[in-house]
Structure 1
Amino acid sequence: GSEGVAGGCTVSRSYRWRDASSVVGGSMVGPNHVYDGSGYVVTWPNELAAASAMLEEVQADGFLGAETRALWIEFSLYNVNINRFCVVRLLFEQLSSGAVVPYAYIRPLSLLWYDTASGLSWLLLAEVSLLFLVLFFLSLEISAMRTHGMAKYWSDLSNWYDWPSLLGFGLIGFCRYRTWWAMSKLKKQIAEEGVMSTAFFSFHEVLEWADYEQYGLAVDTLLVYLKVLQFLAGVPHINTLLYTLRRARDQLAHFTFCLVVLVIAFASSFHLALGTQLHEWRHMGTSVMSLLHVTLGQVDVPTLERESPLGVFLYLSFLFLVVLVAVNIFLSIVTDAYTAEKAAAIHVDLFKVLIDAARRQIHRTRTSINSLKARWKGVVAEASFNASTSFKQYVGERTTALSASFKSRSSSVRGMSRQVHMVRVRVTVAVAVA
């Protein structure tokens, strides 16, 4: 199904106004405004003939008019051949001048990750394996924290980098679970309503959590690949580059502060001078991005000159102060730091450095594993000791009981032996008398 919303319109028939909390489609962000989702809602049928008839009826009713500020249409598609969903949101904004600005949001999604014909999802197995791998590294970090102590552990700057990366996987897993849960709820709703139902099935919640998962995965992927630089820190040439940034970090920090001030100053000036005439300077965010385009040479100078007399002056000022002066200062800072670091660097054997780095990493992993083994052996030994103590106590009690029983039986046997002996004596005496 699909759904259309038009806000602020005057209609000739009864269309029910719905607030943002009751609209399942959620809010809508357009090029010019942000809409909370409230408005007059019309649900369209799936059949072409019925949809065409309803479109003519809505048009005859004057559903859209001069008071309408936005109309958006939302629908979802599914292609069974490639197992992909597609969420489509079409927005038409009517400005105060009467112009209509179109905007389209098309998002393909893979949401049936674990639904396979064989019933066994290799993707699920791979994700579970990754989960156990992350848990293993978390156990190593926790073991190192307990072994070396909190102060020594957090004094290593690499640990401050490891934890965001590991916790990022946890956040991604949580978003995947929420996406799966929302999709399961939606599948249940579709099964109850029927595939050919005219009801509107909103993928807004699924899309929101899927976007969060993609954002987290993108950031965590960057962190994981940057981690490679730490393992390559012992390589001579890469080591020189990394220590160049470390040597120049103070100067780069002050330079970055001055550059940010310049960018904010020029973004504000361009926004005030051209914000009402040109779309790319309409607010501070777009102004900053437009300045980045200027540094790359993507600028329309005749348009700046035509729209405002300050346009060309601001452009030339920014070009001189930032592109010509600031960029050269940045290059000078990095060049001086690289020259000093290269002069201080000593010649090392690259193969030996790589072997030493691998040995250090193996030693660190082995130490953590041995620590975990030692703790596990302690737990097993304690459990074995408790079990052995209980067993020994049980054996002692049984031995004492058997010994007492044996003594009792021995006494009985001796008593019976005496009685037999006395009988024999009596028989002997009787025979003798006879």
Structure 2
Amino acid sequence: MDHEKDISGVEYGEFDDESVVEKSEPQGCWGSFTGCIGGMWATRQMTSSKDREIYVRTTLRELVVYVVFLIILCILTFGMTSSTMFYYTNVMEGLFLDKPYNDTRNTLRGSSQMLDFWRFCEYILLESMYWEYWYDDALTPTIDNNILFQNRLLGAPRFRQLRVRDDSCVVHENFKAAIKQCYDVYSEGIEDTKPFGPGNSSEWLYHTSDELDGNTHWAKLTTYSGAGSIKDLSTLKRNATNDIAHLRNNRWIDRATRAVFLDFTVYNANVNLFCVVKIVFEFPATGGLIPSWSFRTVKLLRYVTVMDYFIMACEFIFVFFIIYYMVEELIEIKHNGCAYFRSVWNMLDLLVIVISIICIAFSIFRYITVQDKIKGLLEDDEMNRYANFEFLGYWQTRYNDMVAVCVFFAWIKIFKYISFNKTMTQLSSTLSRCAKDVAGFAIMFFIVFFAFAQLGYLLFGTQVHDFRTFGDSVFTLLRTILGDFNFHEIESANRILGPIFFLSYVFFVFFVLLNMFLAIINDTYSEVKAEIALQKNEFEIADYFKRGYNNMMGKLGRRDRLVDLENALKLSDANADGVLTFDELRNNLKNHILASLSQKLTALTLTCRCNFSDMEIEMCFARYDTDGDRVIGENEKRAMLADIEGRRLELDQEIKKDGPESRPVTAKGAEAAVVAGAISEEEFQQLQRRVDRMEGSIGSIVNKIDAVLVKLDTMEKTKGKRRENMSKFLDSMAEDGGKRTLGSSSTVQSELPGAPSDTIKRSQRLSKGVRMQSIKRGRKRTRAKAKHAAKDSSKVRVRVRLEELSEKLFTIWTKTHDGSRSPVVSCVSVISACFKMNVDCLRLLTLNTNLPSVRVRQIGGQKPEAFWER
């Protein structure tokens, strides 16, 4: 192809005749816009998997975008939590839960009777909540009257009591005379709503949940409503002490009490954290006390520091990502229809999007609500009112839980983008294939498991803590599978049935049923591994990165042709028929780097060469096409890849053997090393000048020798024809002369029977001389033909010699004319070989007119004129 230029002025004539130029149909603005939008949301489900490279490129783009989304999500997650929250919670729990009472060594964790409630209120609560003195008994200022000197109490602490009616249960007839009152287990329907006690203040009156803006609470025994009788303590220790004494003296808690709640909130400005505390005292119908608690350390004020504002920016980016993925899922639903909902990965995508939308909505709601709460709290100068942060603390905890679940599923979703790799598909393929078998066997497993759980609950539920409920029994048996069990407790509860229960459970469930699950999964995994080993090698994401790296190294003159060949074997099957033809392999080896140039043309795609010559491709194909059908099958392709891998290992071993010091780092370093190792700079200049002179004169020499050879051939042909005609003429004359002589002698003898014998002898000698001359001429013709044949044989030997030397020069040229050496160094190597082969090489180079042109076209795709110019 001659050098031409397109409208943009870019030369593309340097590509040879095999370069491919594709032009797409011109599109309008709307077509370009829709194409751009479609490219932004193109996914693997909308891309044909037959074109493996496009499929991998689309997957890689999806993976990169999703990794950015995952990084943003992790930044948000770790921005709202930290290890400081744990230490803050631990300090507050130690202050209220682990501090012993003044008259006993018991703590709130071990409290079990009603008296322990008053011990907690009169000592632990007052001492831990009101810090009026420093460690040296100096009085603290009111502004520093904080818990542990660091945590500000927001508002007043609040007690809330729930009671039941005295007729809430039915007494047996035999005991009605002795027992007049009966207080049932708590339920919302039997709450006591009547006033009680000596006065009409709030602690003696019933308030509904709406009046208190309360919420239900799930404690250890049951779920309690947000109603009840309330008492807000004073923010001063002296007044709070009097309030507690007043409640105790007037029997604020009695037989009707079923639960007492203590709620308060503290704020630490040093770390910008809230701690919403709820301590629950449950008084069951059996008597006694069951304490429980919750310390919710949350970050409600989100935007304070510079890091917080960075988190806010990430939140906006997160919102944009959710919008992006919403549009993507809508496009996929439109493209795939009902088939979209049959994919587990698509359902996981929808789950992540829904959870993210809920988190975004709650984040906005939390920000508005917290601002209103803080504003209302600050309007009370003395902060004597109760600040209800329970709702925010609870839903902030639920928000953290939703974010944690969202992050979990977001990480699991990564398998969606890496599952196309054969190695990565082992887990998903194994689980999906054995799902039915596992589900079928799980039914049998859980039948036996729940039978043991119910048996344990009925046998030990009244005596062993771990079996007190059916749910606890289930989790206890699950822990037993993991080795966490207490054999002595069940043995103490039942010395006969306890060991029998334990041994039978361990044998049937642990040794038999549980190992059946492992056997099913292991068998399926073996099948998947075997199938993966037999699968054909496809173009994977690792190959995509190898190709990109190889292209980059090619620009630096260090291209790895083994990588090109390996990728060509995986990508050349254009029609996806499982076999590789010569044309498919050739097109991929010679043309695979796509570069787009667009100026005034709508689209112009140029396909660049891979530096493989036709002879190399033909030799490579012929070597592995064992059956000669011009098609490389799966076994032949596998053998080819194995040889490539073996060659790569050999090269790596050679590189390790040579050591890093013997390898040049760059192409320039390689060129300098070659030149420095061969000749000096002065000798190089002399050789270059001689090469220039030789290249300048070799063209005319070739033309002259061509003309001489043509003339010699013409003369040889003319001489041959003349000799042939002369020999035919002489042969005909000899035959005619012999016939006439024989005829005349016989006639003379017949006519002159009395003629003398000497006359007859002369006639015979004359005939014999003619025959001898004819024989001599025949011998001369034979010698001439032999000489001519010898000349032809010599010419054939010369041409054979020419072919051998040309092949040697061509081999030297191809070895030196690669990406790691410049054309000048290649010329030096060729000329050095010429001097080694002496003048015969130069003469043979000039004798053949066709071979140099052929070789030049195979070296770089240039014409002979360009070769001689170089």
Do both share a fold (TM > 0.5)? yes
**Inter-CA distance 5–310: structure 2 relative to 1 (3 Å threshold):** farther
Distance (Å, rounded) in 1 between the aligned partners of 2:315 and 2:499: 55
AA aligned to 1:4 is: F
Deviation per CA, 1:297-342: give whole Å up to 9, x if none: 2222121122245433333222122111111101111111111111
Alignment gaps of 5+ in structure 1: 360-434
Measure how far apart 1:273 and its partner are: 2.4
Give the match's secondary structure for 2:533.
coil
2:514 paired residue among 305, 313, 327 = 327
Distance (Å, rounded) in 1 between the aligned partners of 2:162 and 2:537: 68
- Who is 1:133 aligned against? 321
- Who is 2:397 aligned against? 211
- Who is 1:285 aligned against? 471
Indicate conservation of the 8 Å contact 1:8/1:68, yes or no. Answer: yes
**Inter-CA distance 180–79: structure 2 relative to 1 (3 Å threshold):** same
**1:318-357 to 2 correspondences below 5 Å:** 318-346=505-533, 352-355=539-542
**Inter-CA distance 206–181: structure 2 relative to 1 (3 Å threshold):** same
Give the match's secondary structure for 2:501.
helix
Indicate conservation of the 8 Å contact 1:234/1:357, yes or no. Answer: no
2:492 paired residue among 303, 306, 311 = 306
Indicate conservation of the 8 Å contact 2:460/2:467, yes or no. Answer: yes
- Who is 1:175 aligned against? 362
Measure how far apart 1:242 and its partner are: 2.2
1:192 paired residue among 379, 382, 403 = 379
2:407 paired residue among 198, 217, 221 = 221
With 85-94 and 242-251 compared, the bigger mean Cα shift is at 242-251
**Inter-CA distance 119–296: structure 2 relative to 1 (3 Å threshold):** closer
AA aligned to 1:3 is: R
Indicate conservation of the 8 Å contact 1:6/1:70, yes or no. Answer: yes
- Who is 1:4 aligned against? 159
With 154-163 and 49-58 compared, the bigger mean Cα shift is at 154-163
- Who is 1:430 aligned against? none
Deviation per CA, 1:194-218: give whole Å up to 9, x if none: 4x32111111221232133122212
Indicate conservation of the 8 Å contact 1:240/1:342, yes or no. Answer: yes
Indicate conservation of the 8 Å contact 2:296/2:397, yes or no. Answer: no
Distance (Å, rounded) in 2 between the aligned partners of 1:205 and 1:95: 26
Work out the number of aligned pairs and report it: 356
Give the match's secondary structure for 1:302.
helix
Give the match's secondary structure for 2:424.
helix
**Inter-CA distance 289–346: structure 2 relative to 1 (3 Å threshold):** same
Measure how far apart 1:149 and its partner are: 4.2
Measure how far apart 1:131 and its partner are: 0.5
Indicate conservation of the 8 Å contact 2:215/2:225, yes or no. Answer: yes
- Who is 2:282 aligned against? 93
- Who is 1:382 aligned against? none
1:124 paired residue among 298, 303, 312 = 312
Give the match's secondary structure for 2:296.
strand
Distance (Å, rounded) in 1 between the aligned partners of 2:256 and 2:199: 16
Measure how far apart 1:112 and its partner are: 0.4
Measure how far apart 1:92 and its partner are: 1.6
Deviation per CA, 1:388-434: give whole Å up to 9, x if none: xxxxxxxxxxxxxxxxxxxxxxxxxxxxxxxxxxxxxxxxxxxxxxx
2:269 paired residue among 67, 73, 80 = 80
AA aligned to 2:540 is: V
2:266 matches 1:53: no
Deviation per CA, 1:227-286: give whole Å up to 9, x if none: 111222133333223212222111111122222222322222222222233333232322
2:219 matches 1:30: yes
Distance (Å, rounded) in 2 between the aligned partners of 1:210 and 1:131: 19
Indicate conservation of the 8 Å contact 2:261/2:281, yes or no. Answer: yes
**Inter-CA distance 236–118: structure 2 relative to 1 (3 Å threshold):** closer
AA aligned to 2:160 is: V
**1:236-385 to 2 correspondences below 5 Å:** 236-308=422-494, 310-346=497-533, 352-355=539-542
Deviation per CA, 1:359-400: give whole Å up to 9, x if none: 9xxxxxxxxxxxxxxxxxxxxxxxxxxxxxxxxxxxxxxxxx
- Who is 1:41 aligned against? 230
Indicate conservation of the 8 Å contact 1:26/1:37, yes or no. Answer: yes
AA aligned to 1:144 is: E
Distance (Å, rounded) in 1 between the aligned partners of 2:253 and 2:286: 16
Matched-pair identity in %: 22
**Inter-CA distance 325–41: structure 2 relative to 1 (3 Å threshold):** same
Measure how far apart 1:180 and its partner are: 2.3
Deviation per CA, 1:73-110: give whole Å up to 9, x if none: 11000001110000111112223443222212111000
Indicate conservation of the 8 Å contact 1:231/1:357, yes or no. Answer: no
Indicate conservation of the 8 Å contact 2:298/2:397, yes or no. Answer: no
Give the match's secondary structure for 1:56.
helix
With 11-20 and 325-334 compared, the bigger mean Cα shift is at 11-20
Deviation per CA, 1:135-167: give whole Å up to 9, x if none: 112222223333x24145445543222111122
With 32-41 and 119-128 compared, the bigger mean Cα shift is at 119-128
Indicate conservation of the 8 Å contact 1:13/1:61, yes or no. Answer: no
TM-score after normalising by structure 1: 0.75
Distance (Å, rounded) in 2 between the aligned partners of 1:57 and 1:253: 62
TM-score after normalising by structure 2: 0.39
Indicate conservation of the 8 Å contact 2:266/2:274, yes or no. Answer: yes
AA aligned to 1:56 is: A
Distance (Å, rounded) in 2 between the aligned partners of 1:163 and 1:30: 34
The Cα RMSD (Å) is: 2.7
2:257 matches 1:102: no
AA aligned to 1:185 is: D
**Inter-CA distance 263–155: structure 2 relative to 1 (3 Å threshold):** closer
Indicate conservation of the 8 Å contact 2:282/2:289, yes or no. Answer: yes
**Inter-CA distance 174–258: structure 2 relative to 1 (3 Å threshold):** farther
Alignment gaps of 5+ in structure 2: 1-155, 165-195, 547-870
Indicate conservation of the 8 Å contact 1:77/1:86, yes or no. Answer: yes
With 269-278 and 75-84 compared, the bigger mean Cα shift is at 269-278
- Who is 1:424 aligned against? none
Give the match's secondary structure for 2:463.
coil
Indicate conservation of the 8 Å contact 2:207/2:228, yes or no. Answer: yes
- Who is 2:418 aligned against? 232
- Who is 1:400 aligned against? none
Indicate conservation of the 8 Å contact 2:274/2:299, yes or no. Answer: yes
Distance (Å, rounded) in 1 between the aligned partners of 2:423 and 2:220: 47
Indicate conservation of the 8 Å contact 2:345/2:413, yes or no. Answer: no
AA aligned to 1:329 is: M
Distance (Å, rounded) in 2 between the aligned partners of 1:125 and 1:286: 45
**Inter-CA distance 185–279: structure 2 relative to 1 (3 Å threshold):** farther
Indicate conservation of the 8 Å contact 1:72/1:92, yes or no. Answer: yes
**Inter-CA distance 165–356: structure 2 relative to 1 (3 Å threshold):** farther
